[in-house]
Amino acid sequence: MKAIILTNNPMILNKYSDFYLVEYIEESLMTVLTKARDKIHEGHLLLSHPLSGSVKPNETIYKSVIISQEKGTLDMNSLMIIESSIETARKFIGMKEAPLWNKKILEDFQEIDYTLIASAIESMKQFK
Amino acid sequence: MRLELGNIYINDVKLADTTKVENGVLYVNKEELLQEIGGDEHIKSIDLELAHPGEEVRITPVKDVIEPRVKVEGPGGIFPGVLSKVDTVGSGRTHALKNVAVVTAGKIVGFQEGIIDMTGPGADYTPFSKTHNVVLLIEPVDGLKQHEHEAALRMIGFKAAAYLGKVAKDLTPDEVKVYETEPLFESVKKYPNLPKVGYVYMLQTQGLLHDTYVYGVDAKKIVPTILYPTEIMDGAIVSGNCVSACDKNPTYVHLNNGIIEDLYEKHGKEINFVGVIITNENVYLADKERSSNWTAKLCKYLSLDGVIVSQEGFGNPDTDLIMNCKKIENEGIKTVIVTDEYAGRDGASQSLADADPKADAVVTNGNANETIVLPPMKRIIGTTEHVDVIAGGFAGSLRPDGSIEVEIQAITGATNETGYVTLSTKGF
């Protein structure tokens, strides 16, 4: 399936921009999620879970979400999942914001986000 | 399939010249153990420390916890596909050293988690404050990538547990429990009037630090399948999951899964426990759809009357949990889900990231956002320098006196979603 990766993770941009349409959003995790929701309203399908990983949305600052390149009618399942995910992320960030991490920890979070999305891409590209 | 599980109760662990069990004491030859588990080119050093219940000791950051077991009779060996050949395990006889655990500790990534306090208020939240712990502190070579580091640490833990388990091979167990699951048709013939109950066992499978292995296979690559419950008692499922300390299933919990134990307890009396369906929790949504379709299909195929579904982890797996529940219920099968909650520090927020009216029977194992103050301990095994960056911690979590204020999600096993924990909620 032709896909768009919405991400604020520079590692995703470096690793995947030659193969996929990467929409790099140099903003917060929350902004990536709300952009994904906007795209779903436009008719894109959600392809990866927005709360990928057990790292909490107020720990990591990185998020990558895969959506379809093609647009159809609004997919309610996609909308339900992104809305619940936004609600959950907001709950966590409301409790406490992610700290100002040092460079090494930021790189670890980039790597985790990358491997989570890589596992989705591996599933996606079988037979595609 | 019939397994005799011989339990050998250990009441102390001590270092000695020979590794053996005598009068309920496990003696460990540290040098021999370190030699047995060493040799990985990725690892600079391994050290061993003991931690006993009631001691003023804090272990952190904890990765995996493993119970020593050994295969005594029957095909295969412990941890098939990982340490042993891929023979189908779960029959014959296995011995377990009870009240003992191998605990692996080490810093794989900069943000870390997993606290075991052996005494004080934190000890009440982790089952591993009640075990005599053989703690392995594992230091990687400089510049080692996170993948290789996690894999090396994982294998060292299994090897140490297998090394200790070997001493149990020729011992006479204090008790022998027998677990038996007949082939489906025989079981239905034997218990025609009992409701057929299955267990859908969800495994964490999202990527680096979030993986689980079945007979050595990365479980994100499986489609749901059926296991005899006793296979799991022989280490068919092992953990590579290092994130979300409170609700990940350490290998110890896979070996001692409480839902399986309790279903066996009622087997042949109130229910006919026919087996375990394992499934995964992938990131790709089509995988979730496929896997939940298959769990529902297998439940229907087995003509189950009731199903228990347990979850592992937070967020993404909430969607798998609800998909499984909804689809199994849609097959006309009564379903109970077992989970934990992230309901905010006051417990008033929405608990899960997904929901459905069909999920009307829920067992919760506690609210991971609850906060706790852990008093200072005399001895730290590992390091608390990462506590400010621990899951559930925050800037200032580690106070000057050594006490720590954290959410209970930082504590290993605090809200375990198979119920291997003391927290629960009663009510309707």
Cβ(B300)–Cβ(B194) under 8 Å? no
What pLDDT was estimated at residue B57? 97
For testing the chain B interface, which of A48, A49, A88 should be mutated: the one with the most B CBs within 10 Å?
A49
Does B61 sit behind a cis peptide bond, omega within 30 degrees of 0 on the bond before it? yes
In this predicted structure, the answer to whether residue B359 has a pLDDT above a threshold of 80 is yes
Q: In residues, how long is chain B?
A: 428
In a domain, B418, yes or no: no
CB-CB: which of A51, A101, A112 is closest to B208? A112
Does some domain include residue B44? Answer: yes
Active-site annotation holder among B242, B246, B299, B325: B242
Closest CA to B390 of B111, B142, B182: B111
Q: How confident is the model at residue B427 (pLDDT cuts 50, 70, 90)?
A: low
B246 is catalytic: no
Please report which confidence band the pLDDT of residue B428 belongs to, taking 50, 70 and 90 as the band edges.
Answer: low
CB contact under 8 A, A123 and B284: yes
Beta B379-382 vs A3-7: how paired, if at all?
unpaired
Helix (H, G, I), strand (E, B), or coil: what is residue A125?
helix
CA–CA distance, B45 with B353 (Å, rounded to integer):
41
pLDDT in the model for residue B422: 78
**Alpha-carbon gap, residue B92 to A4, rounded angstroms:** 52
The Cα-based distances of B23 to B18, B163, B268 in angstroms read: 15, 19, 36
User: Residue B228 domain-assigned?
Assistant: yes
pLDDT score at B375: 96
Partner residue facing A59 (CB), from B248, B285, B391:
B391
Taking Cα atoms as reference points, which of B280, B331, B339 lies closest to residue B301? Answer: B331
Give the C-alpha separation, B122 to B130, whole Å: 12
pLDDT of residue B109 exceeding 80: yes
Q: Kindly identify which residue of chain B lies nearest to residue A98, measuring between CA atoms.
A: B394
Owning domain of residue B84 = 2-410
CB pair distance less than 8 Å for B110 and A54: no
* % of chain A residues with pLDDT over 70: 98
The angle that helices A103-125 and B146-165 make with each other, rounded to 10 degrees, is 80
Give pLDDT, residue B97. Answer: 98
How far away is chain A from the Cα of B411, in angstroms, using its nearest Cα? 15
Give me the residue from A48, A49, A99 closest to B395, CB to CB: A99
- pLDDT tier, B8 (very low <50, low <70, confident <90, very high otherwise): very high
pLDDT of A42 strictly over 60: yes
Count A/B contacts: CB-CB distance under 8 Å: 132
Q: Which pLDDT tens digit goes with each residue over A77-106? A: 999 999 999 999 999 999 888 888 889 889
Contact of A46 with chain B, judged by CB distance below 8 Å, is answered with: yes
- Determine, for residues A108 and B110 on separate chains, whether the beta-carbon distance falls below 8 Å: yes
Instruction: Say how far residue B415 (Cα) sits from the centre of its chain.
Output: 12
pLDDT score recorded for residue B392: 61
For residue range B61-85, what is the model confidence (pLDDT) as tens digits? 999 999 999 999 999 999 999 999 9
DSSP state of A23: E
Q: Is B60 within a domain? A: yes
Q: Which of B286, B314, B394 sits opposite A96 (nearest CB)?
A: B394
Q: Which residues of B touch A85 (CB under 8 A)?
A: 315, 353
Q: Is A112 in CB contact (< 8 Å) with chain B?
A: yes
Task: Identify the closest residue of chain A to B244 by CA–CA distance.
Answer: A54
| Contact between chains at B353 and A87 (C-beta distance less than 8 A) | yes
How many domains are there within chain B? Answer: 1
Shortest distance between the Cα of A105 and any Cα of chain B, in A, equals 5
Measured between beta carbons, the chain B residues lying within 8 angstroms of A116 are 206-208, 210, 283
pLDDT (0 to 100) of residue B395: 58
B258 pLDDT higher than 90: yes
Whether residue B52 is contained in a domain is answered as: yes
pLDDT in tens, B184-239: 999 999 999 999 999 999 999 998 889 999 999 999 999 999 999 999 999 999 99
The Cα–Cα gap between B317 and B206 comes to 9
Residue B388 binned pLDDT confidence (cut-offs 50, 70, 90): low
* Cross-chain residue pair A91–B345, CB shorter than 8 Å: no
d(CA B363, CA B300): 23
The answer to whether the CB of B210 falls within 8 A of the CB of B219 is no
E strands present in A1-128? 3-7, 21-24, 44-46, 64-71
- Kindly state whether residue B149 falls inside one of the protein's structural domains: yes
Say what the pLDDT of residue B243 is. Answer: 87
The predicted model scores a pTM of 0.96
What's the pLDDT band for B276 if we cut at 50, 70, 90?
very high
Residues B207-238 as b or e (16 or more Cβ within 10 Å = b): bbbbbbbbbeeebbebebeebbbbbbbbbbbb
- Chain B nearest-CA distance from A26, in A, is 22
Q: Is the pLDDT of residue B327 over 70?
A: yes
Interface test with B, best of A12, A44, A45, A54 (most B CBs within 10 A): A54
Residue B417 included in any domain: no
The answer to whether A92 contacts chain B (CB < 8 Å) is yes
**Residue B325 C-alpha from the chain's centroid:** 22
Cβ–Cβ of B394/A59 closer than 8 Å?
no
Burial, A95: exposed, middle or buried (Cβ in 10 Å; 0-12, 13-18, 19+)?
middle
Q: What backbone phi and psi angles, to 5 degrees, belong to B399?
A: -90, 160
Sheet holding B100-105, edge to edge: B43-51, B132-140, B100-105, B62-66
Considering chain A, what is the average pLDDT of its residues?
94
A126 vs B: CB within 8 A: no
pLDDT digits (tens, 9 = 90+) for B39-54: 999 999 999 999 999 9
- Cβ–Cβ below 8 Å for B283 and A119: yes
DSSP code, position B221: G
Is the predicted pLDDT of residue B113 greater than 80, yes or no?
no
Chain B contact for A24 (CB, 8 A cutoff):
no
Looking at beta carbons, which residues of chain A come within 8 Å of B394?
Answer: 96, 99
Q: Which residues pair with B199 in a beta bridge?
A: B276, B308
Mean pLDDT of chain B: 94
ipTM attached to this prediction: 0.94
Interchain contact, B243 vs A53, CB within 8 Å: yes
Instruction: List chain B residues with CB under 8 Å of A56.
Output: 314-315, 391, 409
